[in-house]
Amino acid sequence: MPEWKILLTDGLEQNGQDILRAAAQVDNRAGISADDLLKVVAEYDALIVRGRTKVTAAVFDAAPRLKVVGRAGVGVDNIDLNAAKAHNVIVVNSPTATTIAVAELTLGLMLSVVREIPRADATMKAGQWIKKELEGHELWRKTLGVIGFGRIGTEVARRAKAFDMDILAYDPLLPAEAIRLRGGEPVSLDELLHRADIITLHVPLDENTRNLLNAEAFAKMKDGVYIICAARGGVIDEEALLQALNSGKVAGAGLDVFATEPPGATALVTHPKVVCTPHIGAQTVEAQTRAAEDIATEVLAALEG
Ligand code: NAD
């Protein structure tokens, strides 16, 4: 058996570890610091991370044996892909494993925001009964603007249709016909911003999507729009969102992701019209089990060449 050594820096479900251990030596150093990673990475043929570990150019420079980096999950924005390419290191992820978990959380955030469910619960637990203050909105026949109509965006749209919502989709990388086949009405970003009652983002974070929703974009939206984001914090200009919440332009926001994580008790996190979750989009037993199996298989396949 080849003497492959695999380092886990953010943990991995047991089923994935079992697959890896059948073929390699696996060291589980969940939570390892950036400095310690630089010290030990030279020993390893493969690295498996989630979103926490930053696989920087310095990590690649310090890892002459490294052949593959596996990301258990979707977003690879924590991995320096240019450095990986320069060092001939393969980067693999498990893109489909977490789709349903994120789509379901998105619907959960949507309902939480329009009906203020977290506030209803918190006030009851404090012994209050503020029924009259808690008049929300329905999703029924509202227009949902989906920015990024890939795997998650499409599954969100499917579920939103069960609520009788109309689906607008902006995704410049997809042909209009593909968007229609996935159940969305293809529109420009401007049209989506003008028409949507609720806007949800499902784009990767890259140079084109960073601060995609900025002050200019908020100005084009309907008054009282709701914003949902379970993509990446950087796709919304958080300062602009805060201003739009304070002015009433945005009636509420449901956020699973933040520009800096953890963000602490910022003005955005503590805003009464914001419902927050600590980046738990992919945090279901089912998604993590699937992701572990997928990434273990992919990493071993890459090592075997
Ligand atoms: P995907 O690649 O299937 O879909 C992304 C879509 O965005 C693609 O269709 C692409 O064409 C589109 N897109 C790219 N650039 C765009 C732009 N500038 N404007 C509009 N559309 C653009 O990916 P997915 O599996 O649906 O995941 C989407 C994102 O969700 C991931 O990149 C990740 O950042 C995020 N995510 C978050 C969590 C979480 O825990 N909250 C978990 C998984 C994924």
The answer to whether 81 and 42 have CB atoms below 8 angstroms apart is no
Per DSSP, the three-state class of 235 is: helix
Across the range 71-81, mean pLDDT stands at 93
Across the range 97-118, mean pLDDT stands at 98
pLDDT for residue 2? 65
Helix, strand, coil percentages for the chain (3-state, nearest 5)? 40, 20, 45
ipTM exceeding 0.90, yes/no: yes
Q: Which residues are catalytic?
A: 232, 261, 279
pLDDT for residue 239? 98
Across the range 87-97, mean pLDDT stands at 96
pLDDT for residue 3? 87
The reported pTM is 0.92
Q: Measure the CA–CA gap between 15 and 252, rounded to whole angstroms.
A: 39
Between the CA of 151 and the centroid of ligand 1 the distance, in Å, is: 7
Q: pLDDT-based confidence at 75, cuts 50/70/90?
A: confident
pLDDT per position as a tens digit, 39-48: 999 999 999 9
In the predicted structure, residue 37 carries a pLDDT above the cut 70: yes
Mutate to test the pocket of ligand 1, among 10, 173, 187 (most ligand atoms within 8 A of CB): 173
The answer to whether 16 and 56 have CB atoms below 8 angstroms apart is no
Q: Which of 148, 194, 193 is nearest to 173 (CA)?
A: 148
What percentage of the chain exceeds 90 in pLDDT?
A: 98
pLDDT per position as a tens digit, 232-254: 999 999 999 999 999 999 999 99
The answer to whether 46 and 303 have CB atoms below 8 angstroms apart is yes
Q: Measure the CA–CA gap between 93 and 87, rounded to whole angstroms.
A: 18
The closest residue, in CA terms, to atom 43 on ligand 1 is 74
Please state the three-class secondary structure of 9-63 as a single string.
Answer: CCCCCHHHHHHHHCCCEEEECCCCCHHHHHHHHHHCCEEEECCCCCECHHHHHCC
Across the range 54-64, mean pLDDT stands at 98
Mutate to test the pocket of ligand 1, among 76, 102, 104 (most ligand atoms within 8 A of CB): 102
Q: pLDDT-based confidence at 265, cuts 50/70/90?
A: very high
The answer to whether 255 and 234 have CB atoms below 8 angstroms apart is no
In the predicted structure, residue 124 carries a pLDDT above the cut 80: yes
Q: Measure the CA–CA gap between 26 and 188, rounded to whole angstroms.
A: 47
Please give the sequence-ordered ranges of beta strands (E in DSSP) within 82-194, or none if there are none: 90-93, 143-147, 166-170, 185-186
Q: Measure the CA–CA gap between 33 and 13, rounded to whole angstroms.
A: 20
